Amino acid sequence: MRFHPPTALRMIRKEVSSPRRDYDLRLRAVSSAGEAVGGDLIEWAMKELSPNVNEFYGCTEANLVTVNNSMWRKIGSVGKPTPGHEIAVIDEKGNEVINQVGEIAVRIEDPVLFLGYYKNPEATAKKFRGHWFLMGDLGLMDQNGYIWFKGRGDDVIKVSGYRLGPEEIESIILQHPAVQEVAVIGKPDRLRGNVIKAFIVLKDGYSPSDSLVEEIQQFVKSRLALYAYPREIEFVKELPRTETGKLKRFELRKREEEKS
């Protein structure tokens, strides 16, 4: 069994597209967490690394509260609550909602929930709404109880009156054959409030061009609502990440804010 964060899985896929063929690799199970893995990457890992790919979701304050595994897998979701945890998606008033984007929350009577931030009661209070602890993420719970991660609360992009999670847009862009990595942010815009901008790392064999920008934009338009496509695309050599591989979107936002 191996644990790999999504970034490590993407790096493996980039360097060795078919480890099962090239190295006769057989793993009993693979686990991943730290950010949303995404359906495309899960399908590749199930084919090339192990049929048992387990994706976990949680945070420092409430660890491993959902899992997407072979017992109740739905590719693209972060699974269902692990036994002993009550998870919901709630609106601004604390009401549970189904098939609607809201805040992912954990019932406060939870065995792994933190007690509070050290000597910071104000910050602690902001994490609770009624009987729920707020994970700080947006998500959707479908009618079958699966949680679909939509993005960090502070990463949400507001465009022309719509609230968009960057992961949903990124997952579509990653399906384009030229794209190796992508990060999506909201760039300040006087007319719309924000416009969607994508920073893209290309796969080997592809070069930046205006025609490729248009091709990727049309690719997204054909799969998402028109307001959700990236009006700006910048090709970069690498994306800013933490030591554990998480995207540092705030650095990209800061860079764009300084330009405007």
Task: Give strand pairing partners of 187.
Answer: 195
Provide the pairing of β-strand 53-59 with 62-68.
antiparallel
240 in the same domain as 112 = no
Which residue range(s) make up the domain with 51? 2-152
- CATH number of the domain at 11, please: 3.40.50.12780
Strand order in the sheet with 232-235: 179-189, 193-202, 232-235
221 in the same domain as 138 = no
Residue 238: in which H helix or E strand, if any? none
How many domains does the chain contain in total?
Answer: 2
pLDDT tens profile 150-187: 888 888 888 877 778 888 899 899 999 999 999 999 99
Spell out a b/e string for 104-114, using b for 16 or more CB atoms within 10 Å of the CB, else e.
bbbbeeeeebe
Backbone angles phi, psi at 87, to 5 degrees: -115, 145
148 in the same domain as 44 = yes
User: Pick from 97, 121, 152: which residue ends a domain?
Assistant: 152
134 in the same domain as 98 = yes
136 in the same domain as 179 = no
User: Pick from 106, 130, 152: which residue ends a domain?
Assistant: 152
pLDDT tens profile 103-141: 999 999 999 999 999 999 999 999 999 999 999 999 999
Using a cut of 0.95, tell me whether the model's pTM lies above it: no
Angle of CA points 164, 209, 183, to nearest 5°: 30
Provide the token pair at 159: 């465009």
